[in-house]
Amino acid sequence: MKNSILKVILPSCFFLFLVPGSALAQCTLSNGTSCVCPDTSSDCDLLPDITISWYALESYQSGPTEYSQTGNGANNGKLRISSSTPNIGYGPLEVSSIDASGNKLIVCGTDTFTVPDSVAFSCPNGQIPKQILRQHIYHRNGSAMTYREHLTPPMTYSNTSMYVDDWGIFSLRVPLANDPDPRNWPVAGYGRKRAFCLMNYGSCSTYSNHCKDTNTTYQQGTTLLNANFPNWGLGSNYNCSPVEQGIASGYTDIYSENLDGMWITIPPTTCNGNYWIYYEVDPHNYFEESNEDNNYTLIPFTLTLQNAPGNPVAGIQSTEVPVVCGTDSVHLMASAGFAYLWSNGATTQKIKAGPGSYSVTVTSYCGMATSDTFVVSSVAIPSAPAVTGDTVCLGNPATLSASGTNITWYDANDSIVGTGNTYQSPPLTSTTVYYARDININNGVLTNGGKPDSSGSGGYFTGLQSLLFTAYKPFILKSAKVYSNVAGVRNIEVYSSTGQLIESGLFYIPVGEYRVPMNFNIPVGEDFRITVNGTPDLWRSNGNVSYPYTISDTLSITGSTASPTIYYYFYDWEIEVGYHRCEGPKVAVSAEVEICAGIDPLAMNNMIRVYPVPAHDRVSLEITSVSNEDHALLKITDMAGRELYARELMLRTGEKQITDIDISMLPEGVFMLNLTISGNSYVRRLIRL
């Protein structure tokens, strides 16, 4: 939660009694009579305008708190900050997780589901669910007040909370004397905040100096108080509801530095000196505002607990795997400084780099240093495969072929249906087009690390705790060993430092030692958490534990969420670094279907389906005829062979035909459905409940 003490003194009546002036009694979310439009008309959108306060960033809770790289536990190398986000617009920022019917929009991959709010939704096939939020944009038309909905991109989903991903992004920057725009300054360290509560933390008069007509320039802007807002208080008494949140006009929301995610990570090579803290709220413009250009601020800050000048270190980092297809490129970033000189002549902190070797000389507060060589490798893009189609009789599978070293087959929906140089389709009822492509794979380097096994004291644990780690390079967490007390399915999840779900999967784990094949793609980042959602009942070690567990230059397992002496669940990590795949062009290949003379009993058998099984009162018989016969005899018998039902069906060659059969007259039990077509018999089992 935010600051529980201050929340207690802001009950719902606080909002109502502070409305300034009787005129605003008719400026509500249901009555627009006295609401003021920005253009002085009586027909307008009343948009919010969210800003970020330099005054609060500098002074709230005594300003930012710097921590050295060691000796501070979870705060090692962190610069903790607070933020205040005033709404200086004519209308509220109001965000809802449901529509007027009480339904939420959940996204699973490319599919969107409309789900009642009361349902705790899980995606089919183990996909990570995301939630689309709804911004209410109020519109005054005379005395009428209505709203329209603006849908956000998919956000982190929780059935008990409402989250806004990347509500704030902040960075520590090195000032450049020749560039007045701080957005262009080199970045020494990043941080980001996922909001869990947009609320009326306090009014602009309560938090004087937080609300200004401009906050983008340090120590500038005229302070705005409640009386300066024509529609002051327009909105609701927004709080941390999982259904509706927001910031009313003339109110501010505050995130304190003690909250999760409210920090900038200071890289270990950073030297003491004069920096600036840059903070941007709603940086991706998820929400509509009257002004999208005033969502940032900055303040100066001097680091004093980092490296002393005189020990310069330069480095190169890529958040992407430094392997490209053909002549593609990746982004490389040098450690922060005042000046840069790359081996290719570039003089910016970031460059796009194709295949080759790179180094950079960086001038910083520590002095001048040159990095080690950084190599960007290349994988050839495969050529288009030569393909051969097939022609088959109706109801038969087709065999297709393609040349290449690593062929993958796709259907018309771009779903993978097979691999290898040949592909056999399912039985076909019509001409079908498939696609083949060749893929070149650059296998990465496999490495193991972490606590190697469960040796030492410990026990099986059923609570919710996590193992913490930092990724210096992108890698694949291929597998890890666990020790299980009971057999069953476990939901293993990886979260970012801001609580965003990065990877997850359901895995069946037997009793005893077992290596879990996770194959999770892990990006560069600090303070990731890997955990089991639910009841782990897996072994945790509280003896023979010694953090950090570093795996080459790729990652460091730094601790746990419970104690620096406890190790949770995942032993002997197997990681892969440098894996990359390059796909060639897809080539269409056709499986032609013909209606052939005579009948193929095997093909006909493939074209008959009975469902549902078991059934209650009715079943459906689905037939696609591959013969030139125009009828079939249907019989249902009991297990002793006694005939209970019979009828003749008319068939249409090459067409799918569905017949509805009433079986309510049958007793409960198991029966046989027999079809006779051209002298051949086809049998299906029926179960009536």
Q: Are 636 and 670 in contact (CB under 8 A)?
A: no
pLDDT at 183: 85
pLDDT at 129: 87
pLDDT at 607: 78
Q: What 8-state DSSP symbol labels residue 575?
A: E
pLDDT at 616: 86
pTM confidence score: 0.73
pLDDT at 486: 96
All domains of the chain in start order, with CATH: 4-303 (no CATH), 316-378 (no CATH), 387-443+584-591 (2.60.40), 445-577 (2.60.120.820), 598-688 (2.60.40.1930)
pLDDT at 154: 93
* Tokens matching residue 258: 């003690």
* Tokens matching residue 295: 């969502």
From CA 213, how far away is CA 326, in angstroms rounded?
51
Distance in angstroms between the alpha carbons of the first and the last residue of the chain: 52
Q: Based on C-alpha coordinates, what's the Rg of the chain?
A: 32
DSSP-based three-state secondary structure for 658: strand
From CA 68, how far away is CA 305, in angstroms rounded?
5
Ramachandran sector of residue 474 (left: φ over 0; alpha: ψ -120 to 50; beta: rest):
beta
Q: What 8-state DSSP symbol labels residue 381?
A: P
Which of 461, 467, 464, 489 lies closest to 573 in space, CA to CA? Answer: 467
Q: Are 447 and 551 in contact (CB under 8 A)?
A: yes
Q: Are 254 and 207 in contact (CB under 8 A)?
A: yes
Handedness of CA 643, 645, 649, 654 (dihedral sign): negative
From CA 681, how far away is CA 632, in angstroms rounded?
10
H or E stretch covering 512? strand 512-522
Dihedral angle, C-alpha 635, 640, 644, 648, nearest 10 °: 10
Which of 362, 169, 176 lies closest to 275 in space, CA to CA? Answer: 176
Q: DSSP readout, 24-56?
A: GGG-SSS--TTPPPTTSSSEEEE---B---HHH
Neighbours of 632 (CB within 10 A): 24
Question: Which residues in the chain show pLDDT less than 50?
Answer: 1-23
* Tokens matching residue 625: 């005829």
Q: Is the peptide bond before 382 cis (omega within 30 degrees of 0)?
A: no
Residue carrying structure tokens 């079943």: 619
Q: Is the peptide bond before 614 cis (omega within 30 degrees of 0)?
A: yes
Q: Which residues pair with 402 in a beta bridge?
A: 387
* Tokens matching residue 619: 């079943």
pLDDT at 22: 35
Per-residue pLDDT of 437-478, as tens digits, reads 999 999 999 999 999 999 999 999 998 899 999 999 999 999
DSSP-based three-state secondary structure for 258: coil
Neighbours of 433 (CB within 10 A): 12
pLDDT at 600: 67
